[in-house]
Amino acid sequence: MEYRNRVDFLVGGRLALFSDPVTRVGGEKCSYQVPTYQALKGILESCYWKPTLVWVIDAVRVMRPIQSQSKGIRPIKYGGGNDLSIYTYLTDVAYQVQAHFEWNEHRPELAGDRNENKHYAIARRMIARGGRRDVFLGTRECQAYVEPCTFGEGSGHYDEAGTLSFGLMFHGFNYPDETGRQTLETRLWYPKMENGVIRFCRPENCRVVRVVKQQKAVKSFTPGENFAPCDTLAEEVAVDGLDAETV
């Protein structure tokens, strides 16, 4: 499906760690072979985030060979001191990502900010600038770099690899401010990569969903108290460091 507000970008780095929750029980971490939906959503939110909208990841294309490397790490223990753990990272990674945004219907107080052209223009500019905040691949020590691209262009390592399955895998979290439910939930799914491309199912279509804990939306927005609504597009654009002609 084509979306008018679709964005394409390339993200890559020397290391990546998309932790498999099963391997974290003993204090060690081992990366999934491919990025999770939630990790890619976090990358895009580091580029441009507003509570008015929700980013939806459509697809990811694996550009380089899937390789791993283990390192000895000395993490801080909860009771103080250090421990010795083995972390298994992905190395020399690059991914093409395709995504779009939709309005967060569970934030009706921000309905006045639903200007699609404005958010789309700012998002594209922030991606071109490499993001507003630090970008990383899964964990903080895995620094990443973002730049615009055209999804599907160029040659990828798995372009003729056929279909590869990865079994049951973490998809993402359902947060109360995005679902309207007073629970934090985790989603699981069965991804398949076809010729290097993984097309994600929508969060609401994940069949395996488990409740983590009861939780309420962290923050509410009240006009005039914790945010100032802009009356015109030019005023809002000025807040984001752009001018009306750029948008």
Question: Which token pair is 119?
Answer: 């958010």
- CATH number (domain holding residue 31): 3.30.70.2660
Residuewise pLDDT in 10s, the chain (247 residues)? 678 899 999 999 999 999 998 888 777 899 999 999 999 999 999 999 999 999 999 999 999 999 999 998 888 777 777 788 889 999 999 999 999 999 999 988 888 889 999 999 999 999 999 999 999 999 999 999 999 999 999 999 999 999 999 999 999 999 998 998 999 999 999 999 999 999 999 999 999 999 999 988 777 777 766 676 654 444 444 445 544 344 4
In single-letter form, the type of residue at position 56 comes to V
Please state the domain count of the chain: 1
Do the domain assignments include residue 206? yes
Q: Which two tokens stand for residue 51?
A: 């509570």
Tokens of 35: 């990025």
63 in a structural domain = yes
Q: Give the Cα separation of 54 and 123 in Å (integer).
A: 12
Any domain includes 245: no
247 assigned to some structural domain: no
Residue 246 lies in a domain: no
Q: What are the phi and psi torsion angles at 162 (to 5°)?
A: 75, -145
In a domain, 158, yes or no: yes
Q: In angstroms, how far is CA 231 from the centroid of its own chain? A: 30
3-class SS at 67? Answer: coil
pLDDT given for residue 164 in this prediction: 95
Q: Does residue 2 fall inside a structural domain?
A: no
* DSSP string for 19-59: B-GGGGTTT-EEB-SS--HHHHHHHHHHH---TTEEEEEEE
| Domain span holding position 124 | 7-239
Between β-strands 29-30 and 85-103, what pairing exists: parallel, antiparallel or unpaired?
parallel
pLDDT given for residue 231 in this prediction: 46
Whole-angstrom distance, CA of residue 14 vs CA of residue 64: 12
By three-state DSSP, how is residue 119 classified?
helix
Tell which residue, 199, 197, 195, has the closest CA to residue 160. 195
At residue 14, the pLDDT reads 96
Per the listing, tokens 């995504």 go with 99
In a domain, 80, yes or no: yes
- pTM for the model stands at 0.87
Cα distances (angstroms) measured from residue 222 to each of 34, 66, 163, 231? 40, 46, 49, 15
